[in-house]
Structure 1
Amino acid sequence: MATVTYNDQALQNALNNLDRGLVDMSVLMNQIGEAWTQLHTDRLEVGVSPDGTSFAPRSKATLAAYAAKGISPIGGPLRLTGDMANFIHHDYSADHAEVGSSAVQAAMMHFGGAKSRFPNLWGDIPARPFVGLAETDTPEIIEVIEDYLEGLVD
């Protein structure tokens, strides 16, 4: 059996930093959450679900309701007031990161709803899933992880 002994303070410091950074990954999870929040906001801007499909367009009933209220929608679905993007946030701990929206209408917009089940709606609302992990998110999140690990050993 061979034994290797090293006496290099810079290497020891790097290994100690790596060890500490991998025991409590709260900082990394926060960074992942921040990046993932931005990815969600960017997807809302272009109107696509995490799977890459475009959001369903506004229905005739929705457009009629807007017209009756004198509202001229600018932009695509889920962008009328900016609440959907403004209320996307993340939470994290040492072992997880999650993204969601606290906008009042978030669940209805994500899952959709039928007027027959929700009589207060002016028409059926198609599901427009906007929360989730997209394949296109992976490279960005990997980059965040790589930067974190490099920062630990630098």
Structure 2
Amino acid sequence: MLEIQSNDQIVQALLAKIVAATQNTEPAMRAIGENLMEVSKQSFEKSASPAGIPWASNTQTTILRYLEQLGGSNYNKAGKLSKKGGERVMSKKPLIGISKDLMRQFSYVATWDSVTVSNSMVYAAMQQFGGTRSQFPKLWGDIPARPFMPLDSDGKPDDIAQQIVVETIQEYINDVINSQN
């Protein structure tokens, strides 16, 4: 879950402008939620964090489990990877499984004074922050962090999230001002 709590003076001043102009910050909060979700979804397209840092590649174990889940003709009669199996291996991106649920299960809740962006998959935090088998014995191996939400390693909004918040609010203010003229 990404919860933006900002005491940043710039953000507070911008929100005060919205209140002065419209008495309603909820549309701006919804726009922030939409923009933060979009940045998170784009991480899956790029196989990289919102900051552009590439994710760790899939391990051999992950690839083999993926092929097993897919079933079908991934191996030839000699037990070697078939052409189809090879194509599947080459196209397998980190964090994108058969269901693609992790990249689809984003939502947000916006109120007049807050916005919370979340991913409903139970393993989302593990994929975002990583974890070791010693921490979580049911894992088949260590999971490297593959950040897809704009959070730092402590789970706080990072510079990208702050930038999105400021730019979204500024854009919203400009839209309000233009609509009043």
Specify the TM-score bucket, using the shorter chain as the normaliser: 0.7 to 0.9
Secondary structure, counterpart of 1:67 in structure 2: helix
Query: TM-score with structure 2 length normalisation?
Result: 0.63
Distance 1:87 1:56, change over 3 A: same
Name 1:8's counterpart in structure 2.
none
Measured in 2, the distance between the counterparts of 1:43 and 1:126 equals 15
**Is residue 51–residue 135 contact of structure 1 (8 Å, CA) maintained in 2?**
no
AA in 2 matched with 1:77: P
Measured in 1, the distance between the counterparts of 2:106 and 2:174 equals 28
State yes or no: 1:149 paired with 2:173: yes
Report which stretch shifted further, 138-147 or 33-42. Answer: 138-147
Name 1:92's counterpart in structure 2.
110
**What per-residue deviation string (whole Å, max 9, x for no partner) do you get for residues 75-133 of structure 1?**
41112232122112222222222322111220111121222332322222111121115
State yes or no: 1:83 paired with 2:101: yes
AA in 1 matched with 2:34: E
Query: TM-score with structure 1 length normalisation?
Result: 0.72
- Higher-Rg structure is 1
Name 2:76's counterpart in structure 1.
none
Name 1:40's counterpart in structure 2.
40
AA in 1 matched with 2:168: V
**Which of 90, 107, 119 lines up with 2:125 in the alignment?**
107
AA in 2 matched with 1:119: P
Of all paired residues, the percent bearing the same amino acid is 29
Secondary structure, counterpart of 2:33 in structure 1: helix
Name 1:5's counterpart in structure 2.
none
What root-mean-square deviation, in Å, do the aligned CA atoms of Structure 1 and Structure 2 show? Answer: 2.6
